């Protein structure tokens, strides 16, 4: 067997080794960067001449928007402000408001269910009264049916 066939993952039986193949649709992993790395890249990007800034981004595998956000965060910290965070997770404020909205919806559903239950109880009471009236009227002897 040639070495190129073996390198392609085909064994002597002719079948491909499934243990060597990675999932082509693997879930992407969100990258995170250390503060010292961000500050180093921002400093290097700012120090680079106009034509070489794109080279820094390509070498580091970054986008200009990332460097722009990192610079804004650095300037906000330097000014004593808290930098704005664009988190992909829900914030605590939105989680609280969604909880309140969920409780409002549940409260409205329970109020409708209570009104329906009250109407059913009222109808059942009227039905019981009607059945008692019918029962009392049938206690009298039936009219004669002779012809």
Is 21 a residue whose pLDDT tops 80?
Answer: no
The span from the CA of 21 to the CA of 10, in Å, is: 11
Is 115 a residue whose pLDDT tops 90?
Answer: yes
Q: Which residue has better confidence, 83 or 106?
A: 106
Instruction: Check if the beta carbon of residue 67 is closer than 8 Å to that of residue 40.
Output: no
Q: Which two tokens stand for residue 102?
A: 């969920």
Nearest to 87 by CA among 103, 98, 74, 73: 73
The span from the CA of 66 to the CA of 53, in Å, is: 13
Taking residues 110-137, report their average pLDDT.
Answer: 94
| pLDDT score recorded for residue 142 | 59
Q: Could you tell me how many residues make up the chain?
A: 147
Is 23 a residue whose pLDDT tops 50?
Answer: yes
Query: pLDDT confidence of 3, banded at 50, 70, 90?
Result: very low
| pLDDT score recorded for residue 17 | 52
16 φ, ψ to 5°? -80, 145
């Amino acid at each position: 067997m040639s070495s190129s066939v073996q390198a392609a993952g085909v064994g002597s039986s002719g079948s491909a080794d499934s243990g060597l193949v990675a999932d082509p649709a693997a879930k992407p992993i969100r990258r995170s960067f250390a503060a010292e790395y961000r500050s180093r890249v921002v400093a290097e990007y700012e120090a680079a001449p106009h034509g070489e800034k794109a080279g820094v981004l390509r070498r580091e595998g970054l986008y200009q928007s990332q460097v722009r956000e990192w610079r804004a965060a650095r300037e906000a910290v330097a000014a004593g402000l808290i930098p704005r965070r664009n988190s992909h997770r829900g914030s605590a404020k939105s989680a609280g408001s969604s909880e309140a909205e969920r409780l409002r919806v549940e409260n409205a559903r329970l109020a409708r269910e209570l009104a329906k239950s009250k109407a059913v109880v009222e109808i059942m009471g009227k039905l019981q009264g009607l059945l008692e009236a019918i029962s009392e009227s049938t206690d009298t002897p039936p009219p004669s049916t002779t012809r």
